[in-house]
């Protein structure tokens, strides 16, 4: 007799002390998102006090996440990022603007850091389609155009694919 084991992989994001604030920020941006639970410390601990928020369990666009207030020992870096695949330019613009506002930092090639230092890749679904084209010259032009961008501009990628000059 075999049994089915149900397991879940849940990303845990380490914050100094702003896990609840960050979770509320993220759920305000993405659809199908919510705060599920807030757990508070039952006693003082190395980086906080009884009653402080320890973890925030939240759902981000349907995926479970945990924010942990672990203190200043660790910071985010680009080794881990969240990729947001966008349907069209309006979505790219909206997510880019939301995630870079109030202290976020735009980066190259669709990458950015939000106000908490978490890295995101905001990419249109068309990017991979164009990059994987059997027309290798067109795909190369798309890659070269993308490497010159901060926020990805679909129209410019399509121009590059077609061999048209790309706006600087």
Which tens digits make up the pLDDT trace of 65-96?
A: 999 999 999 999 999 999 999 999 999 999 99
**Could you tell me the pLDDT band of residue 4, with boundaries at 50, 70 and 90?**
low
Tell me the β-bridge partners of 53: 40
Q: Is the pLDDT of residue 115 over 70?
A: yes
CA–CA dist 38, 42 (Å, integer): 13
The mean pLDDT value for 39-57 works out to 93
What would the mean pLDDT of 94-114 be, rounded to a whole number? 98
Q: With cut-offs at 50, 70 and 90, classify the pLDDT of residue 7.
A: low
Cα–Cα distance list, 51 to 20, 43, 82 (Å): 13, 7, 30
Domains present along the chain, CATH in parentheses: 10-72 (3.10.180.10), 76-163 (3.10.180.10)
Is residue 164 very low, low, confident or very high in pLDDT (cuts 50, 70, 90)?
Answer: confident
Which residues are registered as beta bridge partners of 119? 81, 113
Which of 157, 120, 122 lies closest to 141, judged by CA?
Answer: 157
- Mean pLDDT, the chain, integer: 94
Radius of gyration in angstroms for the set of CA atoms belonging to the chain, rounded to a whole number: 20
Buried b (16+ CB within 10 A) or exposed e, 66-100: bbbbbeeeeebeeeebbebebeeeeebeebbebbb
Q: pTM of this prediction?
A: 0.90
What pLDDT, on a 0 to 100 scale, did the predictor assign at position 45?
Answer: 83
Structure tokens at 89: 């330019």
Confidence (pLDDT) at 167 = 75
User: What average pLDDT does the segment 96-110 reach?
Assistant: 97
CB 20 within 8 A of CB 53: yes
Give per-residue pLDDT as tens, 119-156.
Answer: 999 999 999 999 999 999 999 999 999 999 999 999 99
């Amino acid at each position: 007799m075999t049994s089915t084991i149900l397991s879940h992989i849940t990303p845990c994001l380490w914050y100094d002390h702003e896990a609840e604030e960050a979770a509320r920020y993220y759920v305000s941006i993405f659809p199908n998102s919510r705060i599920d639970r807030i757990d508070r410390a039952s006693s003082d601990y190395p980086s906080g006090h009884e009653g402080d928020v320890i973890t925030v369990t939240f759902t981000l666009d349907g995926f479970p996440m945990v924010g942990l207030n672990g203190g200043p020992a660790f910071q985010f870096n680009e080794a881990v990022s969240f990729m947001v695949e966008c349907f069209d330019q309006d979505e790219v613009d909206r997510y880019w603007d939301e995630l870079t506002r109030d202290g976020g930092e735009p980066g190259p090639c669709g990458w950015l850091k939000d106000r908490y230092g978490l890295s995101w890749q905001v990419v249109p679904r068309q990017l991979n389609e164009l990059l994987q084209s059997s027309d290798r010259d067109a795909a190369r032009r798309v890659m070269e155009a993308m490497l010159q961008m901060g926020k990805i501009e679909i129209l410019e990628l399509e121009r590059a694919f077609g061999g048209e000059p790309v706006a600087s």
